[in-house]
Amino acid sequence: MTEMHNRPREHFDVIVVGGGDSGLAAAIKARTQGRSVVQLEKNPRVGGTTSLSVGSINATNTRHQLDAGILDSPSDHCADMPLFALNS
């Protein structure tokens, strides 16, 4: 028998897989409703893929850019995309 089999078993009402924004929100909601929760995350810290998101929808040559005098192009837009991830 391995050490794992000798451990006491725990029971939870809700098992949340992932520690991104959605997983954290689900775990909090379940706890506020009185449920016992365990959250599993494979990475050393929470954040998930949310930390890779800039939280926006990006576009090129929008009316707002043109009104502000900003000239953009699809190639400039593509070159800028990786720069956003470095700032998160």
Run means of pLDDT, 10 residues per run, the chain, 88 residues: 69 95 94 96 84 71 91 87 65
Name the 3-class secondary structure at 14: strand
| pLDDT the model gives residue 6 | 74
- DSSP per position, 15-83: EEE--BHHHHHHHHHHHHTT--EEEE-SSSSSBGGGGG--SS---SS-HHHHHTT----HHHHHHHHHH
